[in-house]
Amino acid sequence: MPDRPPIFAVAVLPPGGRGTFATFENEQAAVDYADRSLPSHPNSRAWIMLLENGRAMRLGVRGAGDWTTDRIPKFYVAPLAGGPMRPFHTYEDARQEASLGMVILSLQDDGGIRVDEI
């Protein structure tokens, strides 16, 4: 992972639905995707992140409406290259299903998101 260039990522999560994880080469492309993705999901959130050296830094959050983490699972597994996010109710279940080349996204109570690369 240390030799890989930084990846800009967006996790879009509509309440009650499956989310999408997407990756980009630059921050502006990630921001544009997050902004475009929200109108079709009025109560969704989009986290914009930088993945570098096995760590995720939250760069921003998009979204509006009535949204709380108690209505949805807190853990999701997605391919690092991008794709659908599969929901899980525990980190242990998510970790069991994740394989090499995937990420586990954990929604935090403070509105943040943690990303673990596998």
User: What are the tens digits of pLDDT across the range 30-49?
Assistant: 999 998 887 566 677 888 99
Burial class for 70, CB neighbours closer than 10 Å (0-12, 13-18, 19+): exposed
Sign of CA dihedral 58, 51, 34, 92: negative
81 or 39, greater pLDDT: 81
For residue 54, is it left (φ>0), alpha (ψ between -120 and 50) or beta?
left
Task: Flag the least confident range among 40-54, 60-74, 79-93, 95-109.
Answer: 60-74
Rg of the Cα atoms in the chain: 13
33 or 112, greater pLDDT: 33
3-state secondary structure of 96: helix
The edge-to-edge listing of strands for the beta sheet with 19-24 is 55-63, 45-52, 7-13, 19-24, 83-88, 75-79, 102-107, 113-117
